[in-house]
Each structure stands twice: as structure tokens, then as C-alpha cells.
Amino acid sequence: MARSSLPLLGLMLGDCTGIGPEQCARILSDGRVADARVAVGACSAVAQRLTRLERELKGQPVTAGVGSLVTADHLKDLSPIDDVRATAAYRRESALLLVQRAVDACARNS
């Protein structure tokens, strides 16, 4: 079985409300994102991929602070709920911070 020469990084973070961004990225040898998959769980009825963010990460240099490319607009399609663990607003804010951290962590580990 042939292996890709591109490193594949996978990362899952979470918090006490169950919000869990998951990210998988391939990094090119020149230090740019070749491909990315980003999804957030516990902020919609089912986990949602952030396809616009995935497209915007492609080709970006993998450097410190790359997580700052993630904005609230990338998460606009999420539909978090209010429940006993957290408000929808808290979940949305937490999801943004956790996705930013996940992208930064991939950069640090590449």
C-alpha cells in the first residue's frame, strides 16, 4: 500500500459542554495547507463541516497564528441550543475559540 509523502495531522479538542472541533489537514512540503477538513460537534443536530473555512485554509502558510483566519462568519451555519450545560451563545463563542486553537495546534505540530 503506497503512503502519501504529505504529513497528515488530526486533532480533536473539546470542552465540558461537549463542543468538539475536529480537524484533519495535509501539509505540503513548502509549509502550506494542501487540504483541510474541519467539523464541529455539539453545536447542531449533527456535526457540521466548515466547508468555507476548509476552502480558505487551502494554500495558506502553516505558521504561528494561522488560527486567527477562523472567524465567527465561518461558524454561521451552526445551530447550537440552550440547555442546562450552556447557552447557545456560549457554545458559539466556545466553538470559535476551539476551532481557532485546533488550527493553531495543527500548525505547531506540523
pLDDT band at residue 1, thresholds of 50, 70 and 90? very low
In this predicted model, what pLDDT tens digit does every residue of 55-110 receive, in sequence order?
999 999 989 899 999 999 999 999 999 988 889 999 999 999 999 998 998 888 77
Cell readout for 27 is 501539509
Would you say 24 and 32 are in contact if contact means Cβ atoms under 8 Å apart?
Answer: no
Beta-strand pair 8-12/20-27? antiparallel
Q: Is 48 helix (H, G, I), strand (E, B) or coil?
A: strand
**pLDDT on residue 26:** 81
Number of domains in the chain: 1
Question: For residue 2, is it within any domain?
Answer: no
Question: For residue 77, is it within any domain?
Answer: yes
Separation CA 21–CA 79 (nearest Å): 14
Separation CA 13–CA 4 (nearest Å): 25
Residue range(s) defining the domain that contains residue 80: 8-108
Domain containing residue 86: CATH number: 3.30.390.50
Question: For residue 40, is it within any domain?
Answer: yes
Question: For residue 17, is it within any domain?
Answer: yes
Question: For residue 3, is it within any domain?
Answer: no
